[in-house]
Chains A and B, each alone.
Chain A
Amino acid sequence: MATLDREYDVIIIGGGPNGLLTACYLSKAGAKVLLLERHHELGGGLITEEWSGFRFNTHAKLMMMMDRAPAYTDLELESWGCSYRYPDAPAAIFTRDGRALTLYPDIERTAASIARFSPADALRYVDVMQEWYAVVEEALIPATFTLPMPMLDMVVSYQQSEIGELVNEMAEETFLETLDNTGFESELLRTAILYLGTMYGMDPDGGLGFLLPLFYHRLLNASIIANGSHQLAGSLARFANRNGVTFERAAPVAKILCDGTRAIGVRLTSGQEIMAKKVVATTDPQTTFLEMVGEDVCNKASSSLVDQTKAWEWESTSLIDVHYALDRRPVHTAAAFDPVCDRALVKIMGVETVDELLEHIDLVRGGGVGMVGAGMTLTDLDPMQAPIDLEPNSAVACFETLAPYKHSDGSWDDLAAGYSRSFLDLWAQYAPNLADATVIRDYVNHPAYIEAKLPNMKRGSIKHGAYVTTQMLSNRPNIDCSSHRTPIENLYVAGASVWPGGMVLLAGGYNAAGVIADDLGLERWWKEPDFVVEARAKGLVG
């Protein structure tokens, strides 16, 4: 145990991306910060571990906001060693007959791909995407980096602009309705869009249709962190460290200490107590309020907090990821049809129609795992993630798909190994050279492992709780805590269970830091990005 002081300005519970971000911003603002992490390594879901020199990013892989997150420039993360790599093609959907539809961030380039399947859709795509991109760029990305407006205020405020009206309309739609409203006829295109929209567990029949354009647009702009996802955590940690943040690893917090209904510090499981002016929890709401604060204190502070927290809805599906260390990179048959698809970042396989995708999602909800998913070969973008000095042709590949928390066929421990084989067999149908590849290592990260490794992802809930209307925007994690302040004075929440949610957006911890800096009377040394200022002028952010 490092020598800790008795008191800090701010104690942050949890060293995931949000906790690290809050630490970075507040420490540079002058606060004396202690960050406590239960694991022996910082980063939360920003995990990169090595199997024989093959780097497996076992949790977070695709970064959906690196190009927009103000933190990247505010904190000069590139100069702290974090750079991200864009693929030439972010996504492609493969057909069983050896073709592929490749998707790009550029609308025209994608339209050219689509034209090979449906000339009519290629034309339509340009119109639809101009609208979708505007919704995302002008409203949704700015909203990511600001506090959510109260729902009703938002609806009213959004009525002032055309873009806002569109968001209001889409908010009432399901993903499927939003998709149908595009008028696309190509099943392959429709499937690709819905796949990207639902690959992290969104409900096709649920509400908040505007999340479909958001996920689609962001996955078409996804990048990976050079050297591995954990390098982002390392860069944030080095920035924080340089600004005086104290880190304590392998230090689980048992209790948030309160004086009445005011948080005053924490007690570690080791028994050590440390005091702070402000305590920031990046844990899930149930852990934060029911376990660390305790129901008694919550009930004294608020009549609804405990009930709201107990009603917290976890996601209905989780993920399974199989990571492979291979002696060769997969080469896809469809490369003959379209050479670019071979190196697409997200390669959708095993599904070609919306009905097939919906059946797949139903299967997962019923406790099964389908032979549908996304292959990714991160070493195509960053060869250093394999031991290329020794074996220049080697590669790291990953197959990811939705999975149930409880498998209907038995325990994950018993079933996991079988999926390593079956997903590789599926991939080999699209990339025949995998059939006789040597699998040097494989690792199956399944829902039970996710929960065991990241205990805040209860039931393998990768986003710390479902994205449903009752848990999004100003309802996340509940109406009283969505400003990051909580009914417990001096206690703040900043994890993925607060707007805008999980997925390493570099947003929640950033938004929280602003609020906490204000409350500590510290100057916000950072400047709001121009896109937020512009959105505010249009009434699109609060």
Chain B
Amino acid sequence: MAGPDREYDVVVVGGGINGLTAAIYLQRSGLKVACFERKLEAGAGACTEEVMHPGVKVNLCASNMVTMWSPAYGDLELERFGLEMLTSGSWGMFHPFRDRSAVMFHSFDARETYAQWQTINEHDAEVFKTIYNVLGPMMDASLHESQFTVPTQGPDDVTAPGGLASLLRMLVPEIPENAHELSGIEMAEAVYQDERIRAAVLANSIMSGSHPWERGMAALMPIVFPVLQCTQSVTWTCRGGSHALVHALCSAFAAAGGRLFTGCPVDKFVMNGDEVQGIVLSPHAAYPEAEVRAKRAVISNLSCHPTFLGLIGEEKLPDWVRDGVHAYKNDETVLFANYWVLDRPPHWEGYPEGIDTAYGFNFGIDSVADVRRLQHCMENDILPDPPIVCGLSVQGFALADPTQAPEGQYTMMAWANVPYKLADGQSWDNIRESYGDKVDALLREYNPGLMDSVVARYCNSPLDYYRKNPSQVMGSTTSGGVGLQWYGTARPFPGCGAPRTPFGNLYLSNSIWPFGTTTLGAGYVAASVVAEDLGVREGQTWWRHRALEAGRQTLADRGIQTGFSIP
């Protein structure tokens, strides 16, 4: 029979991309692994659905696919299983202004970014050049350690990034003595002269999940992002849409002999004291109330709250765990989406060349004052009006991959930053369309012609995201807190030891460091630790890629070079 066995070495709860990644690594390491997914399709946020017109693929959640930089991209041979990473023009991101100027970020070649910035502000271009030439190579070297290794640093270690701040001060004399005390906003103001460049880099740091009003790591993002986009560009889609990544992962898992069970919500863990020994499926599951044992490990790919409050149960949590779980903030990075169908390719009349085919953009932040406005809104649960749209907008899906829209049509999306909780008496269902109208109106101020080409729109509120994925609590796009207090070892709560947990045999591949992106980092880190603990890591010669390695090879095969220095 093909139903679940009574026992596996490892049971993974939740078939999101990180759960699948962990499952494949461990299955290929010789363990017998089963993964249980509540829906009929695995992949959680990596979903592509036709919720507008037939043939119009809507990537409803994950939209910038950075999987190519993952060690898993090479180790798991995802290309062989059908994954094809595509991008549109060579400009990755841009930030438009109402006067038809724009700050642009090149995907591969820092010399282009430098030249574009020179047209805006000579000084800031020189700052970028100086920082890029020093930081560029360093960031390449550090990616594997920072995103694919169990974190060793917590908030206390990075509140004062003294070393890097000192280095930056040597490069950019404008950085004040107290660099380690600066917030991201203050750093941007110290380093850059031009208000547009400040706005653009701050918007991009918000898009990357940091809060530039915080100190520590957040202070570095305005400097790091422009460099990052030239070395490890974040602006990619998959042929067939984001969900194609899931098909590749599922194929790789099946080929390794692993078993994925869909339509299988998990209700509870089977526990013996503090040890997790298995799972019980829901009465609604394809195998109602089936009990499946995990001989050696259970990996929860659900986020923090559903794992600890749902699968374990609040009553079974020690006080310090319960407090840590309750302190975990879910509604930090919450987004509202407009998805559009266009009847002609995106065009930015009057804007700099190259923008029409760029992959993505942010808008609605014209100055540092707008960043402060967003901070005020987020800290006080106020709905920004006019909207602030720096959660990433994408116009490049169908430009990069024509299979994502019918011939002659194009897709576009925009993520506005919003609170989950609304003022009394308001419900997202009632204001969804009117807020969508506000996003439309705002983008019209930057590009009326673009909005004239819109033939259909679909809006998604944070409540809609939450409904779609109960593990995406309050619509969080990062599976919970991204602020400094949840940095590194403190995620999801101090003392958890994630991906290990205070519970025997239980590991996490969600709500841990690094937070939710499509690098498959959390799944990779979970797999590394479980393999280590179970003594199966050694001798896996295929498990060898470093971050960037396989993706760079893919680009080289296509004749795309990266890693230029700016003369």
Residues of A within 8 A of B260 (CB): 238
Q: Which single member of A2, A41, A226 contacts B286 (CB below 8 Å)?
A: A226
User: If A2-B251, A452-B53, A452-B406 touch, does A79 touch B2 (CB 8 Å cutoff)?
Assistant: yes
Is there a chain A Cβ closer than 8 Å to B261's Cβ?
yes
Residues of B within 8 A of A50 (CB): 39, 47, 49, 51, 468
Q: Which residue of A lies closest to B261 (CB)?
A: A81
B158-181 interface with A by 8 A CB criterion: none
Residues of B within 8 A of A231 (CB): 40, 262-263, 286
Q: Tell me the smallest distance from the CB of B415 to a CB of chain A, in Å.
A: 16
Asked if residues B40 and A48 are in contact (CB atoms below 8 Å), the reply is yes
Q: Which single member of B2, B40, B286, B464 contacts A239 (CB below 8 Å)?
A: B2
A53-103 interface with B by 8 A CB criterion: 53-55, 76, 78-83
Is there a chain A Cβ closer than 8 Å to B264's Cβ?
yes
A227-243 interface with B by 8 A CB criterion: 227-228, 230-231, 234, 238-239, 241-242
Asked if residues B284 and A384 are in contact (CB atoms below 8 Å), the reply is yes
Q: Which residue of A lies closest to B406 (CB)?
A: A452
Asked if residues B467 and A250 are in contact (CB atoms below 8 Å), the reply is no
Question: What number of A-B contacts does a CB cutoff of 8 Å give?
Answer: 120
Is there a chain A Cβ closer than 8 Å to B470's Cβ?
yes
With A and B bound together, what is the CA distance between A78 and B2 in angstroms?
8
Asked if residues B467 and A230 are in contact (CB atoms below 8 Å), the reply is no
With A and B bound together, what is the CA distance between A226 and B468 in angstroms?
18
Interface string of B264-293 (1 = CB under 8 A from A): 110000000000000000101011000000
Residues of A within 8 A of B265 (CB): 384
Q: Which single member of A226, A234, A387 contacts B41 (CB below 8 Å)?
A: A234
With A and B bound together, what is the CA distance between A389 and B471 in angstroms?
11
Is there a chain A Cβ closer than 8 Å to B239's Cβ?
yes
Q: Tell me the smallest distance from the CB of B402 to a CB of chain A, in Å.
A: 10
Q: Which single member of B39, B48, B54 contacts A453 (CB below 8 Å)?
A: B54
Is there a chain A Cβ closer than 8 Å to B256's Cβ?
no
Is there a chain B Cβ closer than 8 Å to A519's Cβ?
no
Interface range, B side: 35 or more
Residues of A within 8 A of B437 (CB): none
Q: Tell me the smallest distance from the CB of B553 to a CB of chain A, in Å.
A: 16
With A and B bound together, what is the CA distance between A490 and B254 in angstroms?
31
Q: Chain B: interface secondary structure?
A: loop
Is there a chain B Cβ closer than 8 Å to A106's Cβ?
no
A376-420 interface with B by 8 A CB criterion: 382-384, 387, 389-391
Is there a chain B Cβ closer than 8 Å to A8's Cβ?
no
Is there a chain B Cβ closer than 8 Å to A531's Cβ?
no
With A and B bound together, what is the CA distance between A332 and B273 in angstroms?
49
Asked if residues A227 and B263 are in contact (CB atoms below 8 Å), the reply is yes
Is there a chain A Cβ closer than 8 Å to B3's Cβ?
yes
Asked if residues B261 and A241 are in contact (CB atoms below 8 Å), the reply is no
With A and B bound together, what is the CA distance between A50 and B82 in angstroms?
24
With A and B bound together, what is the CA distance between A249 and B247 in angstroms?
9
Asked if residues A40 and B51 are in contact (CB atoms below 8 Å), the reply is no
With A and B bound together, what is the CA distance between A523 and B80 in angstroms?
32
Is there a chain A Cβ closer than 8 Å to B469's Cβ?
yes
Is there a chain B Cβ closer than 8 Å to A130's Cβ?
no
Q: Which residue of B lies closest to A50 (CB)?
A: B468
B54-92 interface with A by 8 A CB criterion: 54-55, 57, 80-82, 84
Q: Which single member of B2, B49, B467 contacts A76 (CB below 8 Å)?
A: B2
Residues of A within 8 A of B466 (CB): 53, 390
Q: Tell me the smallest distance from the CB of B361 to a CB of chain A, in Å.
A: 25
User: If A40-B240, A231-B40, A449-B53 touch, does A2 touch B81 (CB 8 Å cutoff)?
Assistant: yes
Q: Which residue of A lies closest to B463 (CB)?
A: A52
Asked if residues B467 and A52 are in contact (CB atoms below 8 Å), the reply is yes
Q: Which of B49, B80, B263, B403 has the most CB of A within 10 A?
A: B263
Interface string of B444-470 (1 = CB under 8 A from A): 000000000000000010011011111
Q: Which single member of B49, B53, B262, B403 contacts A250 (CB below 8 Å)?
A: B403
Is there a chain A Cβ closer than 8 Å to B150's Cβ?
no
Q: Which single member of A49, A81, A389 contacts B264 (CB below 8 Å)?
A: A81
Asked if residues A250 and B263 are in contact (CB atoms below 8 Å), the reply is no
20 contacts between A and B (CB under 8 A): A2-B80, A40-B48, A40-B243, A40-B403, A53-B466, A228-B40, A230-B40, A234-B40, A238-B260, A239-B2, A242-B2, A242-B254, A249-B82, A249-B247, A250-B403, A384-B282, A384-B284, A387-B468, A440-B429, A452-B55
Pick the 6 closest A-B CB pairs, nearest first.
Answer: A53-B467, A453-B54, A227-B263, A2-B82, A452-B54, A52-B464
**Can you add 11 more A-B contacts, CB < 8 Å, to A50-B51, A452-B53?**
A53-B468, A80-B3, A227-B39, A231-B263, A234-B262, A238-B254, A239-B2, A242-B254, A249-B247, A384-B284, A449-B53
